[in-house]
Structure formats: structure tokens, C-alpha cells
Structure 1
């Protein structure tokens, strides 16, 4: 019986996935690692600690991991002013809250980025809690972020709302169901194959279909 809605932020509530992919491409190129951006996009949704070895190797992670993540930050920061919330983002948060759920924004992003997105979403008065990269040792697809989000509020269980297969995989490891939206650029089949119990093309479609999801009513 779920009473907590756990929202991924990047790619789900704010439109950042392609900025992330481009920033990672530029960061890798600093180290003479040239990867097709479509391959990088397939890994967006993982945290940087998981993404670097997944796209390259453990040897690259051991040698350059921290420097690559620092380079990614430098490349992403100039693009942050381009980031906008998806249509319906605040309305979805407010509607889920109105249905009796606690709302936790579960991000593995840098704390200053999360603070910026909270303001962009006008979410401070809606969210009961939120997370940042400072709160977990391992990012998605490890379950740490989902478990940390649940621990931030009293309750009995959660529902994950995300945009990537990594959200669904991480949530399943924490015994949490996922409702997915295609806002991050992943296909419906990819999201269902990762374990999503429902897939919606947009946040507006999800709002219209909430009665058919585990977000219909808290504790239902």
C-alpha cells in the first residue's frame, strides 16, 4: 500500500536529458574518448559513478572517473539556463499531493542543481522532502536513491515516477513499482521491459490517467 510518490527529477520533471548527454560527450572528449551521443543517451538516468564505467571500462573509471565527473559539471553548468520544466510538472506534483501522497523528489544531481530545479518547478511547498547526490553512495540503477527517498518520510511504501529504464530497475530492487513517462527519450518498450507498470507519453497524459495507476489514491 503506497503512500509516497517518489519523483525522479532530471528527464521526468525538467527537460535535461539531452543537455546531460551533450555535456558528457564533451567531458569524454577532453580525455580523447569519443562516444556516439546516442550511446551516451542510453545511459542517461544513471548517476555519474555508474555511467562512466558503463560507457567505457573500469580502467577508465579508476583512472579518470572523478576528473570526468568534474569535467561534466563544467560542461553542464553553462547550459543550465536552458533547462525548463516539462508542461504539467507542477500540476502533476500538486495533483498527486492532493490525492494523499507524500511527495519526495529523488535526484542524484548536485545539490546546487537540485535547489535550482526546486525553484524552477515551484516545488518547495509541494514536496515533503528531496535528495541530492550527497545522500547516496551508489546512484541508479542501484536502489540506494529510492531507499533514501522512502526513508526521508514516514510511510509504508512508495511509487516511483521516472523517465528512464534505470529508474524502473532501481525501484524494482527496492520493491517499488514504477510509472514511467517518455519525456526522457526512451521508448515505451524499453520502459516496460525495465519493469514499468505503466507508460505515458507526457506528464499531461499521466495526470489524465492517474486513476489507472498506483497513484490513484494513497493507500489504495
Structure 2
């Protein structure tokens, strides 16, 4: 991919170190309605959209019984942890490096709009990226590929445009794979390399900073 491409980057967990805070927020939200699940099980689902997480965790019965209530409480719990969520090493440098190579750049997130605003400020990214998404843009979140379609549409690009996904979870990789988009992954999601490769990851890096160093060996050269 030597011509200009579109880079679609996940924010939560990929650029911002937030996965474990989100797992704790879900844990606390579930406890507030009398439901206790091991934090490790919640962590394994972080990166999947909140509209799908509870059904994946406890089945449709859990979703139907407490879904809306838990999601609302999770937002409050996550709000209280926002100050602890910081950019991962090299996160902003990665955005700059992608733009310096002439690619277009969309930050794709299914987070709430106010959280995305905070993350954009933490990254000082508003003047770098071409556009971004929030939970308001899609009905079905990852691992459904809807968010990636919306990210392309934000730039007026078709689904067969030259594009690359950068994420941190198997849910990012699976969403990209569903529409034939290659994916580069950082390890901050806490998934094993074997899981990420089985899901379809093209390459895996420790941090965004490591991806910056290797960028010329990727489809975003």
C-alpha cells in the first residue's frame, strides 16, 4: 500500500491506557445491581461495545434484566476514572507519523461523546486527525464492522478504499477482518499474541511508540 491510505485508529485502549479502568467500572456497575463477575472476565470483553458486552458476559437474561441500568451506572463509574486514563507511549507521535506519510486518519471509537472529547484533548489530536466517531454514530458496536464503515463514510470513502485498522483487542481485529481490512495491533488490550493472530492481526507491537518505529514496514509506509 504505497499510495495514500486511510488509517482507522481505535482510541480506547489503543491510544489511551483505559482498558483496566473500564473493566473496573463495569465491575462496580454490576455490583451496584447485585451482580458480581470476576474482573478478568470483564477485561476479556473490553473493546467490545457496551451494547453487546452484558449479553456476552451473562447471556440475554442479564442484558434484558439489568442492561440499561448497568450501562448508565458504568458511565458514571468511568467518568470518575477519566483522570487516570493517560495516552500510551508514542500515541500522539503515531498520529503525527501517519499524517506525515500523507495518509488520512480517522479515530474510531464507540465511546460516549464526552469521553471521546476528553481523549481528544489528552492526545491534543483535534488538529491532526481528519475526523472521529463516537457511540452516537453507530447502532451496533465492535465486533460488528459498522464503526469502520462509518469511519470511511466520514471521509467520503467507499468500503473498498485502501485502509488499515489499528487496535488493541481481538474485537478490533474481528471487525476489520469482516470487511477485509488489515489490522495492526498493540498489546495494551491484554490479549495474547496467539489470540490476536488467530483473529487475523497482521502484526503486533508493544506500544504505539513501537509501531511508530516499525511504520515503514507496515501497509502505512
Distance apart, 1:59 and its partner CA: 1.4
Distance apart, 1:73 and its partner CA: 0.6
Secondary structure of 1:176's aligned partner:
coil
Judge conservation of contact 1:150–1:157 (CA < 8 Å) in 2.
no
Measured against aligned partners, the alpha-carbon deviations of 1:135-192 in whole angstroms (never above 9, x if no partner) come to 0000000010011111111342310000000000011112211000101222211211
Q: How does 1:99-178 map to 2 (within 5 A)?
A: 99-155=101-157, 156-178=161-183
Secondary structure of 2:184's aligned partner:
strand
| Matched pairs, number | 216
Please say if 1:90 is aligned against 2:92. yes
Partner of 1:78: 80
Secondary structure of 1:209's aligned partner:
helix
Give the Cα separation in 2 of the matches to 1:100 and 1:189: 32
Secondary structure of 1:179's aligned partner:
strand
Partner of 2:190: 185
Distance apart, 1:89 and its partner CA: 0.6
Distance apart, 1:134 and its partner CA: 0.3
- Runs of 5+ consecutive residues of structure 2 not aligned to the other structure: none
Partner of 1:202: 207
Kindly report the root-mean-square deviation, in angstroms, between the aligned alpha carbons of the 2 structures. Answer: 1.0
Equivalent in 208, 213, 220 of residue 218 of structure 2:
213
Secondary structure of 1:38's aligned partner:
helix
Distance apart, 1:64 and its partner CA: 1.4
Distance apart, 1:74 and its partner CA: 1.2
Distance apart, 1:193 and its partner CA: 1.2
Q: Which runs of 4+ in 1 moved over 4 A?
A: none
Measured against aligned partners, the alpha-carbon deviations of 1:15-53 in whole angstroms (never above 9, x if no partner) come to 000000000001111122111111110000001011010
Give the Cα separation in 2 of the matches to 1:165 and 1:184: 9
